[in-house]
Amino acid sequence: MEKPEKPHPGEARHAAVPLAECTLARAVSVIGDAWVLLILREAVYGVGRFEEMRDDLGIPRAVLSDRLRRLVEAGLLARVAYREPGRRTHHAYELTARGRALLPALAALREWAEEHLPGGPSPLKLRHHCGAQIHARLVCDHGHVVGPEEIETVVERSDGATG
């Protein structure tokens, strides 16, 4: 393995991790759906009511119902009952800790779109409690922010070699 740097285009840099062992594939099985991501967007906004999500997204009722059920089953959303005085009991879908833990991924997607897709910036910002703006970044164990070009993927094989 003298020069693994520039393999032929199309030549894999290392053996593929089978889908069953791939964490990204597991994530995709939950969030690999356009509506799911948009529903999570609503939940991040604090929009938790069925009809309100429907109004915002224009999603068919049956699909929204199905996705909400899946997201509750997967533990990303919780269906909570509440009641405003003088109104009937309602249910709302709220992010659980597991769902909220997706914020870094959603933030990274937002930033990617803002920088790399046509269209203006979003009026929505993520803000820390201290007032500072938040960004999704890759950081190395030494605490440095690194760019996507400075990174390589390695498979840690059981025999200790690094592929």
Nearer to DNA by C-beta: 16 or 62?
Answer: 62
Nearer to a second copy by C-beta: 48 or 64?
Answer: 48
Task: Report the residue count for the chain.
Answer: 163
Structural element, H or E, at residue 78: strand 77-83
109 within 8 A of 81, measured Cβ to Cβ? no
Q: In the set 7, 32, 46, 60, which binds DNA (CB under 7 A)?
A: 60
Q: In the set 49, 74, 78, 111, which binds DNA (CB under 7 A)?
A: 49
Binding status of residue 27 toward a second copy by CB under 8 A: yes
Binding status of residue 3 toward a second copy by CB under 8 A: no
Distance in angstroms (rounded) separating the CA atoms of residues 76 and 32 = 14
* Footprint on residues 28-47 left by DNA (CB under 7 A): 33, 35
* Footprint on residues 99-158 left by a second copy (CB under 8 A): 100-117, 119-130, 132-142, 144-146, 148-157
* Footprint on residues 59-78 left by a second copy (CB under 8 A): 75
Q: Comparing C-alpha atoms, which of 136, 146, 98 is closest to residue 114?
A: 136
Binding status of residue 10 toward DNA by CB under 7 A: yes
Binding status of residue 56 toward DNA by CB under 7 A: no
Binding status of residue 68 toward DNA by CB under 7 A: yes
Nearer to DNA by C-beta: 88 or 116?
Answer: 88
41 within 8 A of 71, measured Cβ to Cβ? no
Binding status of residue 100 toward DNA by CB under 7 A: no
Query: Helices 50-57 and 34-45, interaxial angle, to 10°?
Result: 120
Name every residue whose Cβ is closer than 8 Å to that of residue 61 and which is 6 or more positions away in sequence.
54
How far is CA 149 from each of CA 46, 65, 145, 146, 152, rounded to the nearest angstrom?
35, 41, 12, 8, 8
70 within 8 A of 49, measured Cβ to Cβ? no
Binding site for DNA (CB under 7 A): 10, 33, 35, 49-52, 58-63, 65-66, 68, 83, 86-92
